[in-house]
Structure 1
Amino acid sequence: MSYQNETAELDSLYASAKEEQKHSKKTFLVWAGGDAPNQQDALYAQFKKRFPGIDIEIIVDLSKYHDIKVYEQLNNGYLEPDVVMLQTMNDFEDWKKLGVLEPFKSQGFPHIRKGYSDPEGHFIGGFIFAFLPQYAKEGVKVAPKNYKDFLAPAFKNKLVLTPPHDDDAVLYVFDHIIKKYGVEFLHELKAQNPAFVRGTAAPAALVGQKGFLGNIVGYPTYPQQPSQSFIPEDEFFITWPQRAAMFKLTERKATARLFLAYLASYEFQSSRGFWSTRTDVTELGGLQPIENYKNTDPLDFIEWMRDRKHIHELRVLFTGIFGEVKGESPLKDPSLFRVYYNTL
């Protein structure tokens, strides 16, 4: 299939962005949801290489912190970021209702999977993210196949977890777990005496190091890591499309259109090596098309995120069992700054 129309659009938008930069003193700014400062380094490097001369900064922080600042700034009539990419997908629907988003449909927009983006172009599904359980490559005699396997004696005192009530996506996984096994699962998990570390990046990186053997809600792993992730055999796992949008208050609109068009392009989506938000990108690394997995549904998490009352009730439940979330934000805790793969 030819994607000359997408390439031509990117070239045209790039020219407009360069012209815009000549007349703007503002660096193009993206706020991205995440919990480790290096999580968007690859995207930053790709964008800088593809569009040299465009000044760009990507600031990573927890989506639940970014979105609060967006609402506050919108109320005050100004906005720092030109584009936001967040896990809090319900925010984009609320912002559309408030009439504060700037719609844009790139040439790649029609290829994005149905339900991931706004049909009118107010926001797009930029990435598919997933959390998968992990176990250490050394020290685990029987590899786990499902979440309940982490309740085995071998994992006692050796689990490292994100506090479930500190992250909506992690809480979503545990909501599915207790729907299957009941709240008793949580009490059995507490008896395992897991270590709780804020954020999702640090717990995922710690599996296979420092004596930690498992993480129920971790990251997809790479071959060089000391841990192995897996897709549960018969339990639900989470995937979701991280959404992105520009606003009517966006100052560098030409660059914002370039950035969103690049996110949606076949050129970028086919370079990620994971599931794509596009229907025409072939999966790599032995993955099947996401629709082949009957134990995940990216659109289900979107629906779940809308029910804030249920989410609040779950947080109350988890706080009652595991206590309040403790520690600094993973973006502010110096002890977590170097807790990334191959750095311990």
Structure 2
Amino acid sequence: MVSSKLLCVLASAAATSAFDPQLGFNSYVEVENRTIDEIYQAALKEGGTVTMWHGGDEKDQQNSLKEAFEKKFPGMTLNITVDLSKYHDINIDRQIATGDVYVDSVALQTLHDYPRWKSQGALLPYKPLGWESIYKDFRDADGYYNGFYVFNWANVWNTNYVTDGPKEFDDYLRPEFKNKLVLTYPNDDDAVLFAFDLIMKQQGYEWFEKLLAQKPRWVRGTGTPSTLVASSNGSYVASFTTSIGLTPSSPFNLSFPSTSGNFVSWPQTGAILKDAPHPEGAKLLHSFVLTEEYQTATGGWPVRSDIDPPSGYPSIWEMPGTDVTKFSQFMADRAAVERLRFFFEDRIGSAQGLSPLEDNI
């Protein structure tokens, strides 16, 4: 149980701003001018360790980042913990409030946290290598945070059981999908909540009632639907609350709305905590994430304007059916988010089951 004393400390921290109206924020911070090898050597001298908390819902989701980073920089260790961003952020708040910061770097879906942490003076301004090429809408002008990579949801199906995959959201209402859909609780994940908000604003409430008549299976975590679609032997064959990258491999195929509908995309955003125990290691990690090598390896849309998206796709700004800036606006209005969350909780119940990080499905 959180003590009343700690709650008071958290409230006090939330009310404190590091912004000086005379001086502004640290907009004078220069773009990193060392080579990546020079940053690497500084990180080794610091101890060769980086601790990162990353948003997600499966423990191994960022194993590829850990492996790529440690392979690129021998002697470095990336300790990475994946959990739902909404849980990471409250624990980061506790570290900040108690002055016991032990995490170096964060990369979260909770985009509304970053301006708040910036105003509290809790972030270290840093403009990593590649800064000038990051799309301006994906970076804080003062260098306190920036996008790492673009995440999105897509229409996903198992080609072993579905020949005519869903292209538009009305397609999920087809008779062959009854009892065959697996969807993430919208009241458990804000990016899924936003997806339902977009769909219902276009399709109307009646669409949601018809979707409920399809009797989808509701699950926790956005990795769970793709896992079940791939492994349930046809019990569940399609979802629109998950992602498998832009270049699917067997048994998956994917699509995005082409004639109607909107899908969710956003820049998963990273920052370094001001009191990070390993700031040089964190700077190395942030500069590495922005390299062409790693931006290309993610298989998604890059956050840099000078790196091409995967073959067959336009830039995220030219992609039909999405506005990559809208999710941050949605997240900033916490009262509206909570009202919408309670609407879905009333209709489908609270999220049931263990966290996907604890559940083996």
- TM-score by shorter chain over 0.5: yes
Deviations for 1:81-109, whole angstroms, at most 9, x for unmatched residues?
11010000110111001111000112311
Residue of structure 2 equivalent to 1:149: 171
Q: Which runs of 5+ in 2 are unaligned?
A: 1-30
Are the equivalent residues in 2 in contact too, given 1:220–1:230 (CA < 8 A)? Answer: no
Q: Secondary structure at the match of 1:49?
A: helix
Distance change >3 Å, CA 172–CA 216, structure 1 → 2: same
How far is 1:329 from its partner?
Answer: 0.7
Deviations for 1:115-167, whole angstroms, at most 9, x for unmatched residues?
11111110111111111011221232532210111011110011011111110
RMSD (CA atoms)? 1.7
Equivalent position to 1:215, from 235, 239, 242:
239
Residue of structure 2 equivalent to 1:72: 94
Residue of structure 2 equivalent to 1:339: none
Q: Which runs of 5+ in 1 are unaligned?
A: 337-344
Q: 2:37 aligned with 1:15, yes or no?
A: no
Equivalent position to 2:210, from 167, 188, 200:
188
Equivalent position to 1:291, from 317, 329, 336:
317
Equivalent position to 2:249, from 205, 224, 229:
224
Distance change >3 Å, CA 141–CA 259, structure 1 → 2: closer
| CA distance in 1: counterparts of 2:82 and 2:320, whole angstroms | 32
| CA distance in 2: counterparts of 1:309 and 1:167, whole angstroms | 15
How far is 1:187 from its partner?
Answer: 1.5
Q: Please, which moves more after superposition, 155-164 or 199-208?
A: 199-208
Specify the code of the residue in structure 2 equivalent to 1:87.
Answer: Q
Q: Secondary structure at the match of 2:152?
A: strand
Residue of structure 2 equivalent to 1:43: 65
Residue of structure 2 equivalent to 1:301: 327
Specify the code of the residue in structure 2 equivalent to 1:300.
Answer: K
| CA distance in 2: counterparts of 1:267 and 1:161, whole angstroms | 33
| CA distance in 2: counterparts of 1:7 and 1:134, whole angstroms | 42
| CA distance in 2: counterparts of 1:259 and 1:140, whole angstroms | 41
Specify the code of the residue in structure 2 equivalent to 1:175.
Answer: D
Residue of structure 1 equivalent to 2:8: none
Q: 2:76 aligned with 1:54, yes or no?
A: yes
| CA distance in 1: counterparts of 2:102 and 2:170, whole angstroms | 44
Q: Please, which moves more after superposition, 278-287 or 164-173?
A: 278-287
| CA distance in 2: counterparts of 1:68 and 1:120, whole angstroms | 24
How far is 1:269 from its partner?
Answer: 1.8
| CA distance in 2: counterparts of 1:142 and 1:110, whole angstroms | 43
Are the equivalent residues in 1 in contact too, given 2:219–2:351 (CA < 8 A)? Answer: no
How far is 1:206 from its partner?
Answer: 1.5
| CA distance in 2: counterparts of 1:107 and 1:69, whole angstroms | 29
Specify the code of the residue in structure 1 equivalent to 2:167.
Answer: K
Q: Which aligned segments of 4 or more residues in structure 1 are displaced greater than 6 angstroms? A: none
Specify the code of the residue in structure 1 equivalent to 2:93.
Answer: Y
Q: Give the TM-score normalised by structure 2.
A: 0.87
Q: Please, which moves more after superposition, 294-303 or 28-37?
A: 294-303
| CA distance in 2: counterparts of 1:44 and 1:166, whole angstroms | 27
Q: 2:158 aligned with 1:132, yes or no?
A: no
Q: How many equivalent residue pairs?
A: 327
Are the equivalent residues in 2 in contact too, given 1:138–1:208 (CA < 8 A)? Answer: no
**Aligned ranges for residues 154-173 of structure 1 at < 5 Å?**
154-173=176-195
| CA distance in 2: counterparts of 1:268 and 1:181, whole angstroms | 38
Residue of structure 2 equivalent to 1:254: 280
Are the equivalent residues in 1 in contact too, given 2:135–2:304 (CA < 8 A)? Answer: yes
Percent of paired sites with the same residue: 37
Q: Secondary structure at the match of 1:270?
A: helix
Residue of structure 2 equivalent to 1:201: 223
